């Protein structure tokens, strides 16, 4: 296991990733010698209403109208599987030359609630948070919304815990954070997976040590 920095002490790194992706990021942070602090600000999951809305599209004969199904995420696959569980033989029959996209909202992304930033706020007030990782702009928005519930804003948080680094998973997340008034200290250049932002954070902390 790589040490988080030269002194050998463990650095605490918070991240706001939704629960269905949090374990992956926590594991990568642990491998680099960090102490991960999961504080999801978003919940991404299928709901009874989205599953119900999806079922008519994957039930015969409606499914015969489609030549392909595109899944933008693992959550979309899970939602499709859930909806198809009690549908008889959900098979695709390719046909036709001209594709017409049909969007179906298979899951919902919602704020995790007023208290979602509580663990982050506690660490900031103790001056004990070394870094925070954002993997989407919506996560940043959710964190700031929760901060207000605790009477905190980003500028105050940075003054209270000036050592806290902000890492963004890719340039789109970084740009979104900046637009919301959250300065970003480092951006992963390899953002095909969470490994890129973890490596970038590890390199920066080593540099500052």
pLDDT (average), residues 161-185: 96
- Confirm if 167 and 134 have CB atoms less than 8 A apart: yes
DSSP 9: P
For CATH 3.40.50.10090, the residue range(s) in the chain are: 12-42+113-208
Nearest CA among 149, 169, 147 for reference residue 157: 147
Q: Could you tell me the two tokens for 128?
A: 């004990």
DSSP 37: E
**Please, what's the largest Cα pairwise distance for the chain?**
65
Q: What is the pLDDT of residues 3-12, one digit of tens each?
A: 454 445 789 9
What's the CATH fold of domain 12-42+113-208?
Rossmann fold (3.40.50)
Distant-in-sequence, close-in-space partners of 102: CB < 8 Å, separation ≥ 6: 57, 66
- Pick the more confident residue, 83 or 131: 131
Whole-model pTM: value is 0.77
- Asked whether residue 54 carries a pLDDT value surpassing 80, the answer given is no
Nearest CA among 155, 159, 183, 164 for reference residue 120: 164
């Amino acid at each position: 296991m790589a040490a988080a920095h030269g002194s050998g002490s463990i650095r605490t790194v918070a991240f706001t990733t939704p629960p269905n992706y949090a374990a992956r990021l926590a594991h990568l942070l642990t491998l680099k010698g960090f102490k991960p602090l999961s504080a999801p600000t978003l919940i991404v999951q299928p709901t009874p209403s989205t599953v119900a809305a999806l079922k008519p599209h994957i039930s015969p004969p409606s499914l015969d109208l489609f030549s392909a199904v595109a899944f933008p995420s693992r959550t979309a696959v899970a939602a499709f599987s859930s909806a198809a569980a009690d549908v008889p033989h959900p098979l695709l029959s390719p046909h036709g030359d001209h594709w017409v996209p049909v969007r179906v909202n298979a899951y919902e992304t919602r704020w995790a609630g007023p208290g979602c930033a509580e663990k982050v706020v506690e660490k900031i007030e103790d001056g004990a948070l070394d870094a925070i990782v954002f993997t989407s702009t919506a996560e940043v928005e959710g964190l700031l919304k929760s901060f207000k519930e605790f009477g905190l804003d980003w500028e105050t948080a940075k003054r209270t815990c000036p050592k806290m680094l902000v890492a963004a998973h890719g340039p789109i997340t970084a740009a979104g954070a900046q637009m919301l008034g959250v300065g970003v200290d480092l951006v992963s250049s390899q953002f095909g997976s969470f490994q890129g932002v973890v490596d970038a954070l590890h390199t920066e902390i080593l540099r500052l040590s």
